[in-house]
Amino acid sequence: NAGVTQTPKFRILKIGQSMTLQCTQDMNHNYMYWYRQDPGMGLKLIYYSVGAGITDKGEVPNGYNVSRSTTEDFPLRLELAAPSQTSVYFCATLVSERNEQFFGPGTRLTVL
């Protein structure tokens, strides 16, 4: 997965709980992305970052927060988990020279 690691692999949350999904890359890429993928659907962009200290909203940011204090890490925070946030979450980085994204292995989250 091109040096992108995500933890945890699986998680079950209760409604109203909070958690942080971790994403780390070791390739010194500036661009990082968070997507969610619902069953049978494509990827929807939640947030992205063009470098340390810079983040921006994607298509579906509501209910999530991000930070980018270092180049390597791009954590995604869920403050008040809701069943609608049950999904598979993918982190990705970008090889800028080719404008090509590479994805981490994903985190499967269930909110009950």
Partner 1 sequence: QKEVEQNSGPLSVPEGAIASLNCTYSDRVSQSFFWYRQYSGKSPELIMSIYSNGDKEDGRFTAQLNKASQYVSLLIRDSQPSDSATYLCAVNANTGNQFYFGTGTSLTVIP
Position 74 contacts partner 1 (CB under 8 A) = no
Question: Do residues 111 and 85 lie in contact, with contact meaning Cβ atoms separated by under 8 Å?
Answer: yes
Position 106 contacts partner 1 (CB under 8 A) = yes
Per-residue tokens: 27: 């390739």
Euclidean distance between CA atoms 15 and 5, whole angstroms: 26
Instruction: Please identify, using beta-carbon distances, which residue of 33 and 64 lies nearer to partner 1.
Output: 33
Per-residue tokens: 14: 């209760």
Position 39 contacts partner 1 (CB under 8 A) = no
Residues lying near partner 1 in the complex (CB under 8 A) are found at 1, 30-31, 33, 35, 40-45, 48, 50, 58-59, 90, 94, 96, 98-106
